[in-house]
């Protein structure tokens, strides 16, 4: 088991790799910098759909989507060509007001408006580049022609998409020869975020958060490590219990 003393160089290497990956010449999404009212007016004048991404700086799934989904070339091209796009930080003054107005309960939440400014869809999921592209293409092909019957505070789907969606994130997917250890399940993401930070202060093992949906509520599962055998994962569970008093199960 690796401890905190190995964490710094690993984090530095990870940061360098991420900066290299995210600045590799890919085009950026042209997110509108202004009020939601003005963005709606721009969408109307250009005959485009209006795309709004609600996020928070402390939201790990939101950061994942920034790094993986919103940096994807096809997603970027689709949004820039056919949508007026905007990001809303729910912790900002205006963002908090919009959060209340549109009854944002989960992060990330994406709202789609037609060119008339009518809300036609909302997604409360962590979406991979592939799923996001399918979602956007579906609305673009309809040209915002019909309004979906979806209540403001109701998700169109009960399926929650975890991080592990595409081949590019394959290393994050537990397979027959890859095991992870679940160390916690939360319904409140802020508590999830705080616990993840506590774990990072102690361990250098990789930590991911998977979105899930159980009994009508979104849940966040904190997973640690990446073990080649179930026996290795089980040994790590014992170490967590004996040395740190942390209960865990092998997944």
The CATH number of residue 184's host domain is: 3.30.70.1070
pLDDT of residue 15: 30
Calculate the dihedral angle through the C-alpha atoms of 17, 209, 61, 151, rounding to the nearest 10 degrees.
160
Same domain, 99 and 31: yes
What is the rounded distance in angstroms from the CA atom of residue 232 to the CA atom of residue 237?
9
Q: What pTM did the predictor assign?
A: 0.51
pLDDT of residue 213: 66
pLDDT of residue 143: 58
Tell me the residue range of the domain where 235 lies.
174-250
Do the domain assignments include residue 157?
no
pLDDT of residue 243: 87
β pairing state of 83-89 and 49-55: parallel
Domain boundary among 102, 120, 142: 142
Residues of the chain with pLDDT under 70: 1-27, 143-177, 213-214, 216
Domain boundary among 99, 121, 142: 142
Same domain, 178 and 133: no
Structural domains in the chain (count): 2
> What Cα–Cα distance (Å) separates residue 71 from each residue in 28, 110, 177?
7, 16, 30
pLDDT of residue 1: 53
């Amino acid at each position: 088991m690796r401890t905190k003393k190995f964490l710094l160089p690993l984090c530095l290497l990870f940061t360098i790799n991420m900066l290299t990956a995210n600045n590799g010449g890919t085009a950026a999404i042209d997110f509108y910098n202004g009020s939601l009212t003005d963005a709606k007016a721009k969408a109307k004048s250009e005959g485009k759909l209006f795309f709004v991404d609600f996020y928070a700086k402390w939201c790990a799934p939101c950061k994942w989507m920034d790094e993986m989904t919103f940096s994807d070339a096809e997603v970027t091209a689709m949004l820039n060509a056919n949508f007026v796009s905007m990001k809303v930080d729910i912790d900002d003054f205006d963002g908090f007001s919009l959060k209340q107005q549109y009854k944002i309960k989960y992060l990330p939440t994406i709202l789609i408006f037609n060119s008339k400014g009518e809300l036609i869809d909302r997604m409360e999921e962590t979406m991979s580049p592939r799923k996001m592209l399918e979602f956007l293409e579906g609305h673009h092909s309809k040209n915002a022609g019909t309004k979906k019957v979806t209540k403001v505070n109701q998700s169109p789907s009960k399926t929650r998409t975890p991080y592990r969606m595409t081949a590019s994130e394959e290393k994050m997917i537990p397979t027959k020869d890859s095991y992870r250890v679940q160390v916690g399940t939360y319904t409140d993401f802020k508590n999830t975020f705080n616990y993840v930070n506590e774990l990072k202060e102690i361990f250098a093992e990789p930590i991911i958060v998977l979105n899930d949906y159980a009994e009508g509520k979104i849940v966040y599962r904190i997973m640690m490590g990446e073990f080649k055998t179930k026996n290795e994962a089980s040994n790590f569970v014992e170490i967590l219990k004996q040395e740190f008093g942390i209960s865990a199960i092998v997944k």
